[in-house]
Amino acid sequence: MSDFNIFHNPRCSKSRQTLALLQENGIEPNIIEYIKEAPSKNQLKSIIKMLDVEPREIMRKNEAEYKAAGLNDESLSKEQQIALMVEYPKVIERPIVFTKDKAAVGRPPENVLVLLK
């Protein structure tokens, strides 16, 4: 089993490009189709901490679910935001590549190369 994981959406070109870039560098990550298999709250909290971002910074604000889920409400706590991201995983930015102690968002795909060092 690989030390690398990718929150992947096969329908997304950036996600496919990031996966191909990892493979070109000899990495066969564990592929997590996060829309089908949503991350747990703890897993998402861990990734947010590794990325050193606020939950809202890794949300896809143009997804219909973002507004439908009420994620545009600025008064939501971090806990509430994370819970809604788990409930509506389509709003999570993609792709996210992570190991046990590092993570990177693959936008652009080359961002994940820092994890290979």
Pick from 41, 52, 45, 47: nearest CA to 6: 47
Task: In whole angstroms, give the CA distance from residue 25 to residue 22.
Answer: 5
**What span, in angstroms and rounded, lies between the C-alpha atoms of 28 and 8?**
13
Partners of 39 in beta bridges = none
> What CATH number does residue 100 fall under?
3.40.30.10
CB–CB of 12/94 below 8 Å? yes
Determine the Cα–Cα distance for residues 39 and 30; give it in Å rounded to an integer. 14
Query: Is 107 in contact with 114 (CB distance < 8 Å)?
Result: no
**In this predicted model, what pLDDT tens digit does every residue of 9-23 receive, in sequence order?**
999 999 999 999 999
Owning domain of residue 17: 5-116
Residue-wise pLDDT tens digits, 52-99: 999 999 999 999 999 999 999 999 999 999 999 999 999 999 999 999
Is the predicted pLDDT of residue 1 greater than 80, yes or no? no
pLDDT value at 117 more than 90: no
Count structural domains, the chain: 1
DSSP state of 71: T
* Cα gap 23→39, rounded to integer Å: 23
Q: pTM, whole model, 2 decimals?
A: 0.95
Would you name the residues annotated as active-site residues? Answer: 12
